[in-house]
Amino acid sequence: MNNGRRHTKKAFPWRRSLWIASLLAPALVVMVLLVLWPLLSAFRLAFYEFNGLQPTGFIGFENFRKVLFEQPYSGWTYNALKHNIIAFVALMVFENGTAFLLAYALLKALPGHRIHQVIVFLPVVLSAVIVGFLWKLFLHPLFGLVNQTLALVGIGAIPWLGNEHTALGSVLFANVWHWLGFPTLVLLAGMQRVSKEVIEAARLDGAGDYVLMTKIIWPLIAPSVTIVTILTFIGSFNWFEIPYVMAGLTGSPGGATDVLGLYFYRTAFGSTTTGIQDFGQGSALAVMMFIIVAGVTAIALRYLRRREIEL
């Protein structure tokens, strides 16, 4: 059989290549049409000026210069970028930190752990629009569940989403509530793959929960941490739905919840009540977002993978 196969391969090498190509072709066509072509189009449009809704002339890096160095656009860009960075850091600490602790608690299989696992994961299956709307209601200054509860202990109406100091935190909280189950499950799956012998050996050596978590489990779940970190980064820089539902297209109040996704959408497609459409500047923002996400992800992956290999 093996000889026969080798004979066929030697006699008709082009047939095998053709076969492989025919298998790859449909996926490649879809990729080129739906991913590569729009991406390259966005790159192209970023270098054009728009008069109305049509590109009128090649203007080099002018759109990039405007969004990076010319007020008020640059102010809006850096404000949005700052919020994306805050979102990433906050989600890493609060969402993934809590997820790690929850995953460890679930790993210990305490009584009722199965129902808790379902409860933690349940919000993940809801759409971001529903979650945003729900939390907008909960945080309503007059009728919201949160303020009505606080009123029982004498705390007055807090405009969670209307105050520039609490708005971003409130939107982030809703996001954590929505997604907490996902990193929990990924980290739990990682923890469940850690050999029981290793854990038992550590226990025999006298390791308590803290040492076990920090010195044994944490290093051994590096591949899961890599996935969670990269997905959190991509999610933070493409963040759109929940801020859009809870704070609107302008990232209200006064840009306190503005993120690059909202700013890009507003710039490219305008809005009935604020502005006109500018696909040139919008594309420049989209290209920058792509470069940030792709660039940082590539670098972070290299670093995080190296950490996995070193183990």
Partner 1 sequence: MSRRRIGLALAAASFAWGLAASAAHATDISFWTWRQEDKAAYNELFADFTKENPDIHVKFESFPDENYPTIVSTALAAGKGGDVIHTHAYGWLEQFVKAGYFEPQDLTTVPSLANQPADALVAGTYRADKKVYSLPFASQTLGLFINKDVFAQAGLTPPTTWDEFITVSKALKEKGFYPLANGMGTSWFNEMFVAIFTNPFLGQDFVGDLTSGKTTFKDPRYVAALGKLLELRDYMPPGFEGIDYETAGQLFITGKAAMLAGGSFDIATYRTQNPAINMDFIAPPTAKAGDTPQVTKFFDGGYAVNAKSANKEAALKLVNWMGTKEFGDKFSALLGNISPIKGVVIKDELLAHVAKLNETAMPHINVVYFRFEKPTGSELLQGDITKMMSGSITPDQLAADLTDGLAKWYKPFQGK
Question: Could you say whether residue 296 binds partner 1 (CB under 8 A)?
Answer: no
Nearest to 83 by CA among 199, 168, 188: 168
Please tell me the distance from the alpha carbon of residue 175 to that of residue 132, in angstroms, as a whole number: 8
Question: Could you say whether residue 117 binds partner 1 (CB under 8 A)?
Answer: no
Please tell me the distance from the alpha carbon of residue 137 to that of residue 150, in angstroms, as a whole number: 15
SS3 state of residue 305 = helix
Question: Could you say whether residue 275 binds partner 1 (CB under 8 A)?
Answer: yes
Q: Which stretch binds partner 1 (CB under 8 A): 17-25, 118-126, 157-165, 190-198?
A: 157-165
SS3 state of residue 50 = strand
Please tell me the distance from the alpha carbon of residue 153 to that of residue 23, in angstroms, as a whole number: 66
> Are the C-beta atoms of 80 and 259 separated by less than 8 Å?
yes
Question: Could you say whether residue 140 binds partner 1 (CB under 8 A)?
Answer: yes
Question: Could you say whether residue 281 binds partner 1 (CB under 8 A)?
Answer: yes
Question: Could you say whether residue 22 binds partner 1 (CB under 8 A)?
Answer: no
Which CB, 26 or 52, lies closer to partner 1? 52
Question: Could you say whether residue 154 binds partner 1 (CB under 8 A)?
Answer: no
| The residue to which tokens 């200054």 are assigned | 141
For 208, how many CA atoms within 13 A lie in the half-sphere containing its CB?
A: 1
**Rounded to an integer, what is the distance from CA 175 to the centroid of its chain?**
10
Q: Which stretch binds partner 1 (CB under 8 A): 50-58, 209-217, 231-239, 286-294?
A: 50-58
Q: Which of 132, 190, 235, 255 binds partner 1 (CB under 8 A)?
A: 255
Please tell me the count of residues contacting partner 1 according to CB under 8 A: 41
Q: Which of 88, 160, 179, 182 binds partner 1 (CB under 8 A)?
A: 160
Q: Which residues bind partner 1 (CB under 8 A)?
A: 51-54, 71-73, 139-143, 147, 156-164, 248-250, 252-255, 266, 269-278, 281
